[in-house]
Amino acid sequence: MSTLKTLNGNQTIAEAVRQIDPDVVAAYPITPSTAIVETIAKFRADGLISGEFVCPESEHSAMSVCIGAASAGGRVMTATASQGLALMWEMLYIAAGLRLPIVAAIANRSLSAPINIHGDHSDTMGARDSGWIQIYSEGCQEAYDNFIQAFRIAEHLDVRTPVLVGLDGFIISHSLEVIQVEDDAKVKKFVGEYKPVYPLFDTDRKMTVGPIDFTDYYFEHKRSQIEGIENAPPVIEAVGKEFGKTFGREYGFFEEYRMDDAETCIVVMSSAAGTCKDAIDELRSEGKKIGLLKPRVFRPFPHQKIAEALKKTKAVAVLDRSSSPGAFGAPLFTEIRSALYDYQERPPIVNYVYGLGGRDIMVEHFKDVAQKLEKIAETGKVEEWLGYINLRE
Amino acid sequence: MAKLKDLASMEDRLVAGHGLCLGCGIPLIFKMVLRATEDPLIIANATGCLEVCTTIFPRTSWNVTWIHSAFENAAATIAGVEAMYKSLKRKGRIPKDKKIKFLGVGGDGGTYDIGLQALSGAVERGHDIVYVCYDNNAYANTGGQRSSATPFGASATTSPEGSQSPGKLQWRKDLTKILVAHNIPYAAQSSPHRWQDLYNKAKKAFETEGPAFLNVLCFCPTEWKYDESQGIRLAQLAADTCIWPLYEVESGKYKVNYKPKEKKPVLEWLKPQGRFRHLFKEENAPILEEFQKQVDRDWEELLKLESF
Ligand SMILES: Cc1ncc(C[n+]2csc(CCOP(=O)(O)OP(=O)(O)O)c2C)c(N)n1
Ligand code: SF4
Ligand SMILES: [Mg+2]
């Protein structure tokens, strides 16, 4: 039976893990994702899950255990954040290169130095070229829903690519929300049985997995890996629709909020989108024609769809919760600006970096952005393409 | 006791066609180790000579299920495979009567150095795995850099001898004892010149419930710089000089498997190897002396451990 429960983001992930009961969970604690790992350990101790829980000595080994386990032939997940994901970096590429459908919950957190435990997207953005599919969540309900869908996407035979689901550290991982927890059996059925592809356990095959490629084969193998993530969009779409049919909450590549007649638009991902919606409501009541576009899927990046949604607006602000020092804009900005390049008619676009190390972003900050957008829309000019929100300078 | 004739008639699990150097100790070691179980086997191999030279796509020398993922994580990778095996057995998705053995393998670089943490973690967690380190005393695959297994005084490309240096200044890390300190059920040292010793230890390791560790000296003509026909003789000399003692530790109990009737001076092992040539310059005589003393101390200590 579907029930309402008051859970924080970490608990919603753990709850989904209990329902899905992956065959192997291998994870190492780090704030703010620790509670996911602890809760799974307790589920195992209490016999609520029958999969194997491995608590390795580092995140590098956690991802290596995931890789061994997934290659062996079963469903695998992990959870981490920040330095933990950074320590996994080498193995993220290998998981993707070996086409292993591992699912990771990431309680997004800043990267050292300086050390800081709070939420931003530096960790997953640092892994954006690793070959993993990336899905971001606005709140606990989305984290739960995204995590369940992640297995279907990762394991789809046309995709076979690992998926990470981001939930903002503390802001989501530690905040209580009343969420709809779906029926155990229904979730299990939605995720379905795991179908191994070339499992090591088929020992009669005597496979060699992960051999060395020289210049004569590496490029082709990489190309075929890229095909996996290129095949993902229709799968992500179909899984999002089916999820909607089954549980009443449908998902696409992004959410448009009051975008119908919007002249200006703020693009922002994850938890900040919730605050942004409040700001938009207030601005709308003042007669401003502004809307929000909240990307959900960052990899594969839905460039055409986003460009279509934005091309008619008069000004766009892209808000990034990470920085890319020395680059022409932070990650989300560069994607969107580049996506609009092919359109004759395209809005001026500006980048704001916000919320590093968990710094708050509030309604008035979005209103400031809206004001600046209004000016850009009027003049058609971007005076400063990059700004920082709520920063003492 | 296994008969060489019977072992010879077994199918090779590491077959010819690989690109390992002429006279390399690696194939000898693994052809023997892999004969020590007849169960289905899954191997996780760390980056290094063994991995690179046996799996140049689209060819493979492995007649057995094999995976490589990275340099420092063979132990974690095989632990993951074993964890999945336990899980699927419990869930009834692997037949109850299907037995699989799990083997992690790596060189001294992948085991003593960069992979030590993953190995320590895997054996501490008690995975039912065997780990075999082939110790050729160097990062051979990348051209002979020092490792923590490189002997004192050896010239390696990152501890070269020169007018101001007699080569590597540090003593070897004693990895086998580090593994013993993990209180695992079985840890041993072996060498390919005693095929029976190697076979028996590998067999014991595979039959051990829980983690088992085997450290095998692996001669490497390329990095040790000697005439490649002399590998077995050098392995024998390593045992006769007590530089590489053959011993095993079962549930904490030490047993020295080979005690030379007459302990040979370390010079006999050092002399044929180009990596030690500079030690025979007059000014390096104290290094040779120190080498001999340290080997003597280690040997005495091992005999004491056995007599406990
Ligand atoms: C993280 C990482 N660092 C460095 C390397 C480069 N590398 C590959 S193999 C190797 C040395 C391997 O030495 P060892 O484990 O002793 O095996 P051998 O080559 O002697 O067989 C090194 C340094 C790597 N592949 N990965
Ligand atoms: S370099 Fe040494 S260990 Fe590597 S293949 Fe050649 S002989 Fe064997
Ligand atoms: Mg080596």
Q: Which atom of ligand 2 lies nearest, measured to the CA of B26?
A: 8
Neighbours of B177 (CB within 10 A): 17
Mutate to test the interface with B, among A208, A213, A220 (most CBs of B within 10 A): A208
Label residue A1 by pLDDT band (50, 70, 90).
Answer: confident
At B127 the pLDDT is 98
Query: How far does Cα B106 stand from its chain's mean position?
Result: 8
Q: Span A276-303, mean pLDDT? A: 98
At B308 the pLDDT is 86
Alpha-carbon distance B54 to nearest alpha carbon in chain A (angstroms): 8
Q: Is residue A226 scored above 80 in pLDDT?
A: yes
Q: What is the pLDDT of residues A133-183, one digit of tens each?
A: 999 999 999 999 999 999 999 999 999 999 999 999 999 999 999 999 999
Residue of A nearest to B94 (CA): A201
At B101 the pLDDT is 98
For residue B41, give the CATH number of its domain.
3.40.50.970
Q: Is B142 in the pocket of ligand 1 (CB under 6 A)?
A: yes
Q: Among A68, A99, A74, which Cα is nearest to A194's?
A: A74
Q: How far is the CA of A293 from the centre of ligand 3 (A)?
A: 54
Q: What is the pLDDT of residues A316-374, one digit of tens each?
A: 999 999 999 999 999 999 999 999 999 999 999 999 999 999 999 999 999 999 999 99
Portions of chain A given CATH number 3.40.50.920: 255-388
At A273 the pLDDT is 98
Q: Among A331, A342, A350, which Cα is nearest to A308's?
A: A342
Q: Is residue B1 scored above 80 in pLDDT?
A: no
From CA B255, how far away is CA B217, in angstroms rounded? Answer: 18
Beta bridge partners of A77: A25, A103
At B140 the pLDDT is 98
Mutate to test the interface with A, among B41, B52, B53, B65 (most CBs of A within 10 A): B65
Query: How far does Cα B198 stand from its chain's mean position?
Result: 11
Q: Among A360, A350, A367, which Cα is nearest to A284's?
A: A367
pLDDT over 70, % of chain A: 100
On chain B, the residues whose CB falls within 8 A of the CB of A210 are 55, 67-69
Of A71, A74, A209, the CB nearest to B87: A74
From CA A91, how far away is CA A88, in angstroms rounded? Answer: 5
From CA B228, how far away is CA A385, in angstroms rounded? Answer: 66
From CA B32, how far away is CA B50, in angstroms rounded? Answer: 15
Label residue B85 by pLDDT band (50, 70, 90).
Answer: very high
The fold adopted by the segment(s) A255-388 is Rossmann fold (3.40.50)
Q: Span A60-66, mean pLDDT? A: 99
Q: What is the pLDDT of residues A239-275, one digit of tens each?
A: 999 999 999 999 999 999 999 999 999 999 999 999 9
From CA B169, how far away is CA B164, in angstroms rounded? Answer: 12
Sheet containing strand A386-388, edge to edge, reads: A254-257, A290-295, A264-267, A315-320, A349-353, A386-388
Element (H, E) at A42: helix A34-45
Label residue A24 by pLDDT band (50, 70, 90).
Answer: very high
Of B40, B72, B121, the CB nearest to A203: B40
Instruction: Give every CB contact of residue B114 below 8 A, 6+ residues apart in sequence.
Output: B71, B72
Q: What is the pLDDT of residues B119-174, one digit of tens each?
A: 999 999 999 999 999 999 999 999 999 999 999 999 999 999 999 999 999 999 99
From CA A143, how far away is CA A362, in angstroms rounded? Answer: 22
Q: Span B97-102, mean pLDDT? A: 96
Q: Is B32 in the pocket of ligand 2 (CB under 6 A)?
A: no
Average per-residue pLDDT in chain A? 98
Strand B165-166 to strand B161-162: parallel, antiparallel, or no bridges (unpaired)? antiparallel
Q: How many CA atoms lie within 13 A of B155 on its CB side?
A: 18
Q: Tokens standing for A261?
A: 């007649």
- Is residue B170 within 8 A of residue B146, CB to CB? The reply is no
On chain A, the residues whose CB falls within 8 A of the CB of B17 are none
The pTM for the full model equals 0.98
On chain A, the residues whose CB falls within 8 A of the CB of B64 are 206
Going by CA atoms, what residue is nearest to atom 1 of ligand 1? B71
- Is residue A167 within 8 A of residue A274, CB to CB? The reply is no
SS3 for chain B is CCCHHHHHCCCCCECCCCCCCCCCCHHHHHHHHHHHCCCCEEEEECCCHHHHHHCECCCCCECCEEECCCCCCHHHHHHHHHHHHHHHHHCCCCCCCCCCEEEEEEEHHHHHHCCHHHHHHHHHCCCCCEEEEEECCCECCCCCECCCCCCCCCCECCECEECCEECCCCCCCCHHHHHHCCCCCEEEEECCCCHHHHHHHHHHHHHCCCCEEEEEECCCHHHHCCCHHHHHHHHHHHHHCCCCCCEEEECCEEEECCCCCCCCCCHHHHCCCHHHHHHHCHHHHHHHHHHHHHHHHHHHHHHHHHHC
Portions of chain A given CATH number 3.40.50.970: 3-247
Q: How many CA atoms lie within 13 A of B162 on its CB side?
A: 6
At B2 the pLDDT is 82
At A134 the pLDDT is 99
Q: How far is the CA of A329 from the centre of ligand 2 (A)?
A: 48
Residue of A nearest to B120 (CA): A57
Q: Is A299 helix (H, G, I), strand (E, B) or coil?
A: strand
Q: Do B55 and A70 touch (CB under 8 A)?
A: no
As assigned by CATH, the class of the A3-247 domain is alpha beta
ipTM, interface predicted TM-score of the complex: 0.98
Instruction: Give every CB contact of residue A304 below 8 A, 6+ residues apart in sequence.
Output: A339
From CA A102, how far away is CA A125, in angstroms rounded? Answer: 18
Q: Is B49 in the pocket of ligand 1 (CB under 6 A)?
A: yes
Label residue A282 by pLDDT band (50, 70, 90).
Answer: very high
Q: Do B81 and A69 touch (CB under 8 A)?
A: yes
Q: What angle do CA B24, B61, B77 make, to 5 degrees?
A: 95
Query: How far does Cα A33 stand from its chain's mean position?
Result: 15
Instruction: Give every CB contact of residue B209 below 8 A, 6+ residues apart in sequence.
Output: B128, B185
Please state the domain count of chain B.
1
At A179 the pLDDT is 98
On chain A, the residues whose CB falls within 8 A of the CB of B126 are none
Q: Among A14, A20, A1, which Cα is nearest to A193's?
A: A20
Residue of A nearest to B67 (CA): A209
* Residues of the domain holding B160: 4-307
Going by CA atoms, what residue is nearest to atom 6 of ligand 2? B21
Q: Tokens standing for B27?
A: 């194939």
